[in-house]
């Protein structure tokens, strides 16, 4: 998750109640004849831990390669035939890294599609921490939780009415920290240093690519005390999609978590998907219900398994399964 941001207030909802997957599924069944599969937050939590156990997923490291192999293996088990998009990019500090975007499609011949995306790398330094700010951190929520959510969702895509593109962006979090605590003074300020994998992906779509109706980016979607306000860049480019997702969340009982408060525009992968690929894409991103800001562990060593909450994962995953399964396979626009 990039560190360039400003925020406005969110409702203080506290810790909230525990909502089981079973209860959520029963509530959905009472409202519709559409069979919505149950999201398994235990599996998503396990997938998060698997990544964290590799170590920080910094491009060029053994942990990074191990995580790449893990993502590809899990997608292959679901018969999604992942493709690795390899390239190189120069970072703000003058280094060159090879990176790997991972792309997988359910029902590839289905011409009605949406996209789900996340980043799978971790920032090389906990530069917002007061201790060991030059050392890497686990990235349990910032990186691993989004990957885990997509891998769990991948189990349920074959029976949906629509096709789904899953895109795992690399080299997202190796950006220049400007405008917040920990501001970089060593290098001159530069533009577009974040989200290098998504920039490349958006500029290099295949000529026969079936454009999805819309995209949803997941960034920090597994933490405790999470609320998800209407993020500013999402509202600039795709307010109709924000409303669509937030209305769905409210209809299944999560309206206090998907709030109608707004943030100003943030720099995240969806910015470049909107600007360069012209796919209306929104960001589901964690804000803390108490601090009304990014969570306390953002780009710090405290971003480890202790910050995760299966209830948050269940809430986001269940909302997304409802979005996927209720999307109609016809020519209507969203």
Digit-by-digit pLDDT tens for the chain (334 residues) are: 775 444 333 333 333 444 445 455 444 444 558 899 999 999 999 999 999 999 999 999 999 999 999 999 999 999 999 999 999 999 999 999 999 999 999 999 999 999 999 999 999 999 999 999 999 999 999 999 999 999 999 999 999 999 999 999 999 999 998 654 555 668 888 999 999 999 999 999 999 999 999 999 999 999 999 999 999 999 999 999 999 999 999 999 999 999 999 998 999 999 999 999 999 999 999 988 777 788 999 999 999 999 999 999 999 999 999 999 999 876 444 4
Q: What is the pTM of this model?
A: 0.89
Q: Give 251: exposed, middle or buried? Use CB within 10 Å, 0-12, 13-18, 19+.
A: middle
End-to-end CA distance of the chain: give it in Å, rounded: 27
Residue 4, Cβ density class (10 Å: 0-12 exposed, 13-18 middle, ≥19 buried): middle
User: How far apart, in Å, are the Cα atoms of 82 and each of 104, 189, 212?
Assistant: 4, 36, 18
Domains of the chain (ranges, CATH numbers): 21-176+188-326 (3.40.630.10)
Length of the chain: 334
């Amino acid at each position: 998750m990039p560190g360039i941001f400003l925020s406005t207030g969110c409702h203080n909802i506290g810790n909230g109640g525990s909502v089981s997957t079973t209860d959520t599924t029963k509530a959905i069944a009472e409202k519709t004849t559409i069979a919505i599969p149950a999201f398994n937050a235990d599996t998503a939590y396990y997938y998060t831990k698997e990544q964290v156990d590799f170590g920080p997923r910094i491009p060029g490291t053994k942990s990074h390669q191990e995580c790449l192999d893990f993502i590809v293996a899990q997608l292959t088990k679901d018969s999604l035939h992942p493709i690795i998009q390899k390239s190189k990019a120069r970072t703000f500090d003058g280094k060159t890294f090879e990176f790997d975007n991972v792309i997988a499609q359910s029902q590839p011949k289905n011409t009605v599609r949406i996209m789900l995306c996340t980043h799978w790398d971790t920032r090389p330094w906990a530069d917002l921490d007061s201790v060991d700010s030059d050392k890497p951190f686990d990235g349990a929520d910032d990186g691993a939780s989004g990957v885990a959510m997509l891998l769990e969702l991948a189990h349920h895509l074959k029976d949906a009415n629509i096709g789904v593109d899953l895109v795992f962006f690399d080299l997202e979090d190796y950006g220049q920290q400007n405008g917040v605590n920990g501001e970089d003074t060593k290098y001159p300020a530069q533009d577009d240093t974040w989200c290098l994998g998504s920039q490349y992906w958006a500029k290099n779509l295949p000529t026969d690519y079936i454009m999805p109706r819309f995209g949803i980016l997941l960034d920090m979607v597994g933490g405790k005390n999470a609320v998800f306000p209407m993020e500013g860049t999402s509202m600039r480019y795709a307010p109709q999609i924000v409303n669509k997702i937030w209305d769905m969340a409210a209809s299944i009982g999560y309206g206090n978590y998907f709030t109608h408060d707004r943030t100003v525009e943030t720099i995240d992968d969806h910015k470049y998907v909107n600007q360069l690929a012209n796919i209306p894409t929104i960001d589901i991103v964690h804000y803390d219900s108490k601090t009304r800001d990014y969570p306390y562990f953002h780009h710090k060593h405290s971003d480890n398994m202790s910050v995760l909450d299966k209830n948050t994962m269940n809430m986001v995953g269940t909302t997304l399964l409802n979005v996927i399964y209720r999307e109609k396979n016809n020519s209507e626009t969203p």
